[in-house]
Amino acid sequence: MDRRSIRWGAVIAASTLAFLPVLPGVALAATVTATPSSVAPGGAIDVTAVCTEQATSATLSGTSFGGPSQISMFPEVGTPVPGTFAVDVTIPSTTLPGTYDLSVTCSDGDSGLGTITVTPSGT
């Protein structure tokens, strides 16, 4: 499967949340995915976040893997789900192997976590 197919699968799965009833005082969490989910230091990932329809922007925190503290995400072009944002990120070559959180905050106040696994170079 290519990156776009995987991303669309995440968008479609997350869009089903729009049809669930919302209880007062309960915030929906944003869905955060990375493609690929494993990468060597210096490699690139595509991070997608599905917020609510009211979100007009989203920000990824890259501090867990040694990136910038605030990475602006961009509206996903051509997606059938409003509130979907994406950004391509290069993992710093100095990032050690391990699992790292991808924390996203949406402009509507929702937030979500995804993960990536940084593998040793050459694997």
123 residues of the chain, pLDDT tens digit each: 554 444 444 444 444 444 444 444 445 589 999 999 999 999 999 999 999 989 999 999 999 999 999 999 999 877 677 899 999 999 999 999 999 999 999 999 999 999 999 999 765
pTM: 0.76
Coil vs helix vs strand at 4: helix
Coil vs helix vs strand at 23: coil
20 Cβ contact list (under 8 Å, min separation 6) = none
pLDDT given for residue 10 in this prediction:
47
Residues in the chain: 123
pLDDT given for residue 28 in this prediction:
57
Residue (of 47, 43, 37, 36) closest to 93 by Cα position? 43
Rounded to whole angstroms, the Cα distance separating 37 from 47 reads: 9
